[in-house]
């Protein structure tokens, strides 16, 4: 198997004045192409920090992060942004949708950012929303959607450009059972049908059971798989 994401002795220290908080303490990890991985652990164990580092949203204090063999640890913000745009889709617990745009408009904006033009693919947007049972909500703005529907739009936005990697931070944390299952079924579809690599942070053992591998963290370390 070929690793698509790797970390080597990854350390992240947050500094506020003279106070240092050690979020990660030498994490080494390898995720192969096509894996569906859950990261679990108590609040404050470092799992969200790890996910943000993997996605290039943060820079490490020391250690290395490789995406498809390319070291992103100390590259410029512009290069890191380009890698995120081309290879990574994010799903957060907070939906971060643009409130003035419809569901379709939020997807179209993601296409525009990825492609650099305003053309997009209306048929693909419609099919993606249909897979998430949102085909009748294309013209609705976020405030006209339930929380579960908003999260599904956020997932559709993350996957519309077929990223090789999907990073999901508690994607079902605010959802009821029905909406959680719809989101997790979509992850399974993307993983099994299209071979997309998914790394998901979750507190929910039921959600983690959808994954092929579970990594447990404690106090900034990986303690078990």
CB-based contacts of 35, cutoff 8 Å, min separation 6: 197, 198, 212, 213
Residue 116: pLDDT band (50, 70, 90) is low
The domain limits of the chain are 33-60+72-224
Whole-model pTM? 0.90
Report the candidate in 81, 110, 86 with the shortest Cα–Cα distance to residue 98: 110
Distance of CA 84 to the CA centre of its chain: 11
166 and 196 Cβ atoms separated by less than 8 Å: yes
Give the pLDDT score at 117. 63
Provide CATH code, domain 33-60+72-224: 3.40.50.300
Give the number of other Cβ atoms within 10 Å of residue 130's Cβ: 13
Torsion of CA 177, 182, 188, 194, to 10 degrees: -170
Share of the chain above pLDDT 90, in %: 62
Contact 182, 210 (CB under 8 A): no
Band (pLDDT 50/70/90 cuts) for residue 194 is: confident
Which residue matches tokens 């039921």?
206
CA-CA distance, 76 to 178, in Å (whole number)?
42
Secondary structure element (H or E) that encloses residue 221, with its range: strand 221-224
User: How many angstroms separate the CA atoms of 57 and 81, rounded?
Assistant: 8
pLDDT at 25 over 70: yes
pLDDT at 22: 94
At residue 118, the pLDDT reads 61
Structure confidence at residue 114 (pLDDT): 79
**How high is the pLDDT of residue 2?**
81
Q: Is 16 a residue whose pLDDT tops 80?
A: yes
Q: What pLDDT score does 61 carry?
A: 95
Write the pLDDT tens digit of every residue in 70-98.
999 988 889 988 888 889 999 887 788 99
Q: pLDDT class for 121, splitting at 50, 70, 90?
A: confident
Q: What are phi and psi of 96, to 5 degrees?
A: 55, 40
d(CA 211, CA 14): 30
What is the distance between the alpha carbons of residues 118 and 92, in angstroms, rounded to a whole number? Answer: 25
């Amino acid at each position: 198997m070929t690793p698509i994401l790797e970390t080597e002795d990854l350390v992240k220290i947050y500094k506020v004045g003279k106070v240092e908080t050690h979020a990660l303490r030498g994490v080494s990890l390898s995720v192969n192409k096509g894996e569906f991985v859950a990261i679990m652990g108590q609040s404050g164990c470092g799992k969200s920090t790890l996910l943000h580092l993997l996605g290039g949203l943060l820079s490490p204090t020391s250690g290395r992060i490789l995406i498809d063999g390319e070291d992103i640890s100390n590259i410029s913000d512009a290069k890191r942004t380009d890698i995120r745009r081309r290879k990574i889709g994010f799903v957060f617990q907070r939906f971060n949708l643009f409130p003035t745009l419809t569901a379709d408009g939020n997807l179209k904006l993601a296409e525009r950012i990825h492609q650099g033009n305003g053309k997009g693919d209306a048929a693909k947007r419609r099919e993606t929303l249909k897979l998430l049972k949102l085909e009748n909500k294309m013209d609705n703005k976020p405030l006209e959607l339930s929380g579960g529907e908003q999260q599904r739009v956020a997932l559709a936005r993350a996957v519309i450009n077929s990223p090789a990697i999907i990073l999901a931070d508690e994607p079902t944390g605010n959802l009821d059972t029905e909406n959680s299952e719809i989101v997790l079924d979509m992850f399974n579809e993307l993983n099994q049908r299209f071979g997309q690599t998914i790394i998901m942070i979750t507190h929910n053992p039921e959600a983690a059971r959808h994954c092929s591998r579970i990594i447990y963290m404690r106090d900034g370390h990986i303690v078990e798989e």
